[in-house]
Amino acid sequence: MTSFDVIIIGGGHNGLTAATLLGKSGRKVLLLEAAGNVGGALHGYEFHPGFRAGGLAHIVNRLDPDVAKLIGLQAELPEILPTVALSETGMPAVLRGAYGERTDGVTAAEAVRFSELREKLLFQAGILKRFLKRRPPEIGAVTAGDMAAFASAGWNMIRRGREEGRDFLRMLLMNVADVADEYLTDDRLKGLIAFDATLGIHLGPRSPTSLLGLHYRLTGEAGGAAGAQFMPRGGVSALAAAFEKAAVSAGVTIRTGTSVTRILADRGETKGIALASGEEISAPVVVSAIHPQMTFLTLVDAAELSTGFLRAVKNIRSKGNVARLDLALERVPEFSGVLPEDHRGRLVIARSIDHVENAFNPAKYGEFSEDPVMEITVPSLADPSLAPAGAATLSALVQFAPYQLGEGWEAGKPRFQKVVLDVLERHAPGIGKFVLGSSLMTPADIEACYHMSGGHWHHGELQTDQLLVNRPVNAACRYSTPLKGLYLASAGSHPGGGISGLPGFLAAQSILAGERR
């Protein structure tokens, strides 16, 4: 039996981040990936002859600076891309700079209101941010470091004035719709922030706590600018390559096309892993960078875990709501009223708060929206290799599309695709005529393709009751798990999903800190 110091299961960006960090520390690290290549949600695929999709993620807005440094991403400021809130009837509203440092297409008064709200939300996100880059505290054994983080959060609030602090505690668990109504009047902007707060989360804008989704987005940064988004040179796939390169140069052994079938354990201690081939590899430390439910419900023998723990794992809510549509287009699409260069940004279709709310309603009952909301990018503009010369790809994240469709996705998928194309047609008249090919991935497809339970890219609902000390479950919230030597490092762990690398980064730090449980 071969042996390693650390085995990482899953070669997504979090697995690669953890592997790189551990490899750099001199440990002998083996990374196992079931798919043919690493990169996970960053990895692209050909969906139509000559046309490639960039990856499940189609824009980068929260890559952690330390992770960026780790994988050798150049420190220079990336170009910040705009967000365009499309309108069916009039001109779009455009957020420029980091989440609308400047706004175009809205009245001067509304621009002021938006910037007030933006500032408030960024301040609040700033308070929360420090907790995203630390391990959740251990209840009952809070460390000096934890106390310092709390103190600094408190100090920041007070320094800003009592009323800002009060507003923070008032707004923290509010719904995004009430906040939008309180500060804004323009339906496009309200619809946009309602969309951004709920994208990838099973909440509508009127659901209490939905503002937290927006806070989460604003804790992300690019080039030091909070709330900014960018596209790496060469597209998202280029990022996958950077992650892989970093791992390889850290001495990590990578085996792709290698499915782990079992995490070996005895009397509560990890011993290694077994592969589909029957091969067993031993290691005292195994890091699972795949979905926590897959980890514990399929890879670990239930006899090595306790009942209450498995019960909690089973209760993790992780049913995706977002479908992904890729279109192969004869030529670059043109959305009404959108400047050509703004097509390189993120285009959002969410007319109003009610539009998002009404799109959410059916998802509660296993139905898809007949009038969905979505965000669109044109990946081939950043990475021309994705499409033949002159042609283009379009990528849309569409919600709400439930993981379990009442009528079944086999019947529902063609209907849903038509619904989505009709919406696109309304915003980019004529686009239908240029469609050469398409691929619609429902959450069920995403689950199958990316090995994410429920097709949920956060690997578990990013809602208040599944955050911090309860992410993914309390007994495994500090990356170590009840199974000694087994660590979690996927988006299912604190602080959650998106291309940040933080779960992997913090998990590796935990291991390096020598804490075994």
Binding site for another protein (CB under 8 A): 138-140, 158, 162-163, 165-167, 169-175, 178, 182, 203, 206-209, 265-268, 297, 301-311, 314-315, 317, 357-358, 361, 364-365, 463-466, 468-470, 474-475, 477, 482
Nearer to another protein, 83 or 207 (CB): 207
| 178/311 Cα distance (integer angstroms) | 35
**Residue 84 belongs to what H/E stretch?**
strand 83-85
The dihedrals phi and psi of 253, each to the nearest 5 degrees, come to -85, 125
Residue identified by tokens 């696109």 is 424
| Nearer of residues 279 and 371 to another protein, judged by Cβ | 371
Nearer to another protein, 164 or 330 (CB): 164
Q: Can you give the three-state secondary structure of 324-357, one letter per residue?
A: EEEEEECCCCCCCCCCHHHHHCEEEECCCHHHHH
CB 9 within 8 A of CB 283: no
Alpha carbon distance 60, 202 (integer Å): 21
CA angle 50, 55, 59 (to 5 degrees): 115
Is-contact 505 18, C-beta < 8 A?
A: yes
* Whole-angstrom distance, CA of residue 363 vs CA of residue 368: 6
Q: Which is nearer to another protein, 91 or 468 (CB)?
A: 468
**In sequence order, what E strands does 175-255 have?**
221-222, 225-226, 253-255
Which CB, 234 or 268, lies closer to another protein? Answer: 268
Residue 325 in contact with residue 438, Cβ under 8 Å? yes
How far is Cα 348 from Cα 27, in angstroms, rounded to an integer? 44
CB of 66 or CB of 407, closer to another protein:
407
CB of 344 to another protein, least distance (A): 36
Judged by beta carbon, residue 290 or residue 300, the one nearer another protein is 300
Q: Closest approach of Cβ 497 to another protein, in Å?
A: 19
CB of 235 to another protein, least distance (A): 36
In the complex, the smallest distance separating the C-beta of residue 483 from another protein, rounded to whole angstroms, is: 9
Please name the residue ranges forming H helices in 219-336.
Answer: 236-249, 292-294, 307-314
- Please answer whether residues 204 and 372 qualify as being in contact, where contact means their C-beta atoms are separated by less than 8 angstroms: no
Which lies closer to another protein via its Cβ, residue 209 or residue 439? 209
- Cβ 120 to another protein, closest distance in Å? 13
C-alpha span between 115 and 100 (Å, rounded): 8
Q: What does the alpha-carbon distance between residue 141 and residue 259 come to, in Å, rounded to a whole number?
A: 38
Min. distance of Cβ 222 from another protein in angstroms?
Answer: 30
Nearer to another protein, 96 or 206 (CB): 206
Least distance from another protein to the Cβ atom of residue 145, Å: 18
Q: Give least dist CB 177 to another protein, A.
A: 10
Distance CA 347, CA 294 (A): 34
Question: Is there a contact between 443 and 456 (Cβ–Cβ < 8 Å)?
Answer: yes
SS3 state of residue 108: helix
Nearer to another protein, 69 or 317 (CB): 317
Strand order in the sheet with 83-85: 102-104, 93-96, 83-85, 346-349, 373-377, 392-399, 323-329, 435-441
Task: Supply the minimum distance, in Å, between the C-beta of residue 309 and another protein.
Answer: 6
CB of 471 to another protein, least distance (A): 10
The single residue listed with the structure tokens 């086999």 is 410
